[in-house]
Structure 1
């Protein structure tokens, strides 16, 4: 049933039950403590009286009714006294109004020790007894008792007070608990209202911070962090969709055109092969474009599948050159590596190799035939730098700031023929950023381009 209630109502119910239980335990403890305290005071009074009766008895030579006036002496009512013979257990003397319903067991009286006061509760009475030796003539038992009216009256009063106070306390506890719950949940309700205004079309809104160092403010910070991650993810998805639809439209149109032309009439085998090869090239471009877009759409956490490690940058560059020697040979370009300084850096070598290979591949593609691509590794200003220099078409000065934009091509026709997607530089920059590096470009049109990859030494 409680599953259908709101958290505020659940907390109010639980708070009421807990306070009711605590007050119940407190009331019971108070009742028992008062009962014990009142009974103890009553026993103390009876003990004083019975010892006084004992002293008065020992001062007399005979047991007379004059010993029964303690009620007047102590101004204590009601008070009942009697003296029993220890052998016969019969009354020797007793007050005239001594209760007839007071009973005693002979074995209990026989077990009494001389000079020791004992107490016994019987129905509505509290009985005190003591055994004494009366001048070595005989042993007697003195009984002094009173009613428990004082005890009953005191306990009735406390019950009356508690029955009046407890409901009032519980009412105020419920009101106070409801107020505290309302005040505690007010910031959360404000957060919910603000969250309702945020939708997938606009994730730029953020919750207002309370500037307090409490759990609510921590929740707001974490929700804002979540919204920031969601906004980033939505932007990447939206950008991916936009980029994909824009960039894939052209090759798909080309493929459709090639197929339609091929199907208009019967063609020779060579013509069909030519149409298929053209379509295959466009499909290859589509595949590479999709892979590159997926790479760019991933966040840093998705890209990093390995732990950071310390490695030599010159070894990584040398491996990249070895893997691209065949590609360079096909483009009639020679690769040359100059290592002036060797230093360790900390990062993600597998990712960084992709960036270095992209830089080398771009240099090869845009170089003039029978030229070199020179890679130089050196130190400068506490940084280890890799420069990739080509002697090719270069980049116009007014276009150098756009080089890292998606799908940007300095020479669209040549890049297209080489199978490029215009995403290589964007991928390279993203990887370099992940590895805490920087990219700088120097280029002169029709002379060549030099790319500088800078990293902090370990």
Structure 2
């Protein structure tokens, strides 16, 4: 049974039960009200009957209207001794009851109950007279009978209308679920991840679920496209060094190649092998990071000292382009972080600035402290980045100027800086490192004027006066 039918069944059963209970309550209340009105009518009829009795010239006279004062009410008149002098008593009324002043008595009878009301009043010139009213109550009068009949006739139609209406409403409400199921079925049966539910605007839970489903599919599609692009980029990046290695190997084994040419070919093979090794190492690191399998090992480090060491390592690469490195760091920049990861972050940012910096240019590395955060800026005066590409540089293998990057990093094992920058993996790694430490990294650039990368990372500890210097 489908959810739609189950909900409709439960909804209909609940509504039917609710209506039955409501009708029962209505009958009880109506019956009580009618009974109360009936008892009141009995008393009023008995009291009004004295207006129809007169004593004149020693004779009691009874108006003919006395027998018709109350529909269904039997009136009888008794003297002070309790002897019947006028009126009628129902033949089915059994068991004479003592006259009781102003009190309604109940006499059980098959199919109902007799209500008996007695009242005594003095008649001028005659004395006390008793009037008794007798009324049979079966628990059901004409209005209740009519109501019950209509209820029994209309109840099946009500249940049917409730079921049909409920099914229609539930079907409309759960339609997005069917759409989601159908969309998921189409996706599972093919490779089209563009399928979406796209419901109109709504504020209920089902619309929220459909919106969440569409957002999930957006992320899945983006991840799938990213994986496709990633695979394509890896193939492209590996194709060149593999082709170079194969061609150099074929060249080196020729008989007419001199020893110096063979050594040059082997050097080229080593260079391309180093490039492939660096590329695969960067890919492995990012893959482990994506799977949360790259744990951090935070320790207390002095960032300005690390920056000085990195700048010294990058100096050879900077000198090749006649670029001056300027380190401006506040003293005692202690922080708690993974030392190897922070070194990697600095290497990637500085090598990136050198790679895209102009010859005879400058690269500034500025480090400072802002309360509980470390602020870093790496600025160059190089080629810059077009504004429409600022968001793309964080993608793996993306390079603003691939030809220039390849030229800077492809000449040999030591022709480029250490790090992933030459493969288009440096900036994605920088962003991951900053995020893994609870920080952020941003970029600002203008083509032809240079680029500024800024990071902000928490220090993760309260500064103490006994920090080593």
Using structure 1 for the length normalisation, give the TM-score. 0.63
Query: Cα distance 1:185–1:329, how it changes in 2: closer, same or farther (>3 A)?
Result: closer
In the alignment, what sits opposite 2:104?
118
In the alignment, what sits opposite 1:42?
38
| In 2, Cα distance between equivalents of 1:227 and 1:195 | 10
1:45-73 C-alpha deviation (Å, 9 max, x unpaired): 21112113456679689996x55966534
| In 2, Cα distance between equivalents of 1:6 and 1:208 | 24
In the alignment, what sits opposite 2:71?
76
Task: Give the conservation status (yes or no) of the 8 Å contact 2:67–2:75.
Answer: no
Unmatched tracts of structure 1, length 5 or more: 258-277, 307-314, 343-347, 444-448
In the alignment, what sits opposite 1:427?
426
Query: Cα distance 1:321–1:440, how it changes in 2: closer, same or farther (>3 A)?
Result: same
In the alignment, what sits opposite 1:32?
28
Task: Give the conservation status (yes or no) of the 8 Å contact 1:49–1:70.
Answer: no
1:305-339 C-alpha deviation (Å, 9 max, x unpaired): 99xxxxxxxx96x3542342563578796985354
Query: Cα distance 1:178–1:332, how it changes in 2: closer, same or farther (>3 A)?
Result: closer
**Partner of residue 407 from structure 2, selected from 381, 406, 410:** 410
| CA apart distance, 1:304 | 12
| CA apart distance, 1:13 | 0.3
In the alignment, what sits opposite 1:204?
194
Q: Is it true that 1:438 corresponds to 2:435 in the alignment? A: no
DSSP-derived class of the 1:79 partner: strand
Task: Give the conservation status (yes or no) of the 8 Å contact 2:399–2:424.
Answer: yes
Q: Is it true that 1:99 corresponds to 2:88 in the alignment? A: no
Which is richer in helix?
1
| In 2, Cα distance between equivalents of 1:410 and 1:283 | 16
1:345-399 C-alpha deviation (Å, 9 max, x unpaired): xxx99988744321324567999xxx99752549xxxx9953257xxxx99x9xx
Task: Give the conservation status (yes or no) of the 8 Å contact 1:320–1:357.
Answer: no
Query: Cα distance 1:166–1:156, how it changes in 2: closer, same or farther (>3 A)?
Result: same
Task: Give the conservation status (yes or no) of the 8 Å contact 1:404–1:429.
Answer: no
Task: Give the conservation status (yes or no) of the 8 Å contact 2:278–2:420.
Answer: yes
Deviates more, 1:350-359 or 1:8-17: 350-359
| In 2, Cα distance between equivalents of 1:71 and 1:140 | 15
Trace 1:318-329 onto structure 2 (pairs within 5 A). Answer: 318-324=304-310, 327-328=313-314
In the alignment, what sits opposite 2:11?
15
Task: Give the conservation status (yes or no) of the 8 Å contact 1:198–1:205.
Answer: yes
Query: Cα distance 1:441–1:22, how it changes in 2: closer, same or farther (>3 A)?
Result: closer
Query: Cα distance 1:375–1:132, how it changes in 2: closer, same or farther (>3 A)?
Result: same
Instruction: Report how many aligned residue pairs link the two structures.
Output: 394
| CA apart distance, 1:167 | 1.1
In the alignment, what sits opposite 1:171?
160
| In 2, Cα distance between equivalents of 1:242 and 1:24 | 69
In the alignment, what sits opposite 2:118?
130
Task: Give the conservation status (yes or no) of the 8 Å contact 2:73–2:135.
Answer: yes
| In 2, Cα distance between equivalents of 1:357 and 1:245 | 26
| In 1, Cα distance between equivalents of 2:90 and 2:35 | 21
Query: Cα distance 1:28–1:364, how it changes in 2: closer, same or farther (>3 A)?
Result: closer
**Partner of residue 387 from structure 1, selected from 379, 389, 412:** 379
Q: Is it true that 1:143 corresponds to 2:132 in the alignment? A: yes
Unmatched tracts of structure 2, length 5 or more: 248-267, 297-301, 332-336, 368-374, 390-397, 457-469
In the alignment, what sits opposite 1:356?
346
| In 1, Cα distance between equivalents of 2:107 and 2:277 | 100
Query: Cα distance 1:161–1:175, how it changes in 2: closer, same or farther (>3 A)?
Result: same
Q: Is it true that 1:233 corresponds to 2:223 in the alignment? A: yes
Query: Cα distance 1:51–1:364, how it changes in 2: closer, same or farther (>3 A)?
Result: closer
DSSP-derived class of the 2:212 partner: helix
DSSP-derived class of the 1:414 partner: coil
**Partner of residue 148 from structure 2, selected from 144, 148, 159:** 159
1:61-93 C-alpha deviation (Å, 9 max, x unpaired): 9996x559665342623524354868xxx6544
1:271-303 C-alpha deviation (Å, 9 max, x unpaired): xxxxxxx99999986664345225656999979
In the alignment, what sits opposite 2:392?
none
DSSP-derived class of the 1:409 partner: helix
| In 1, Cα distance between equivalents of 2:119 and 2:151 | 42
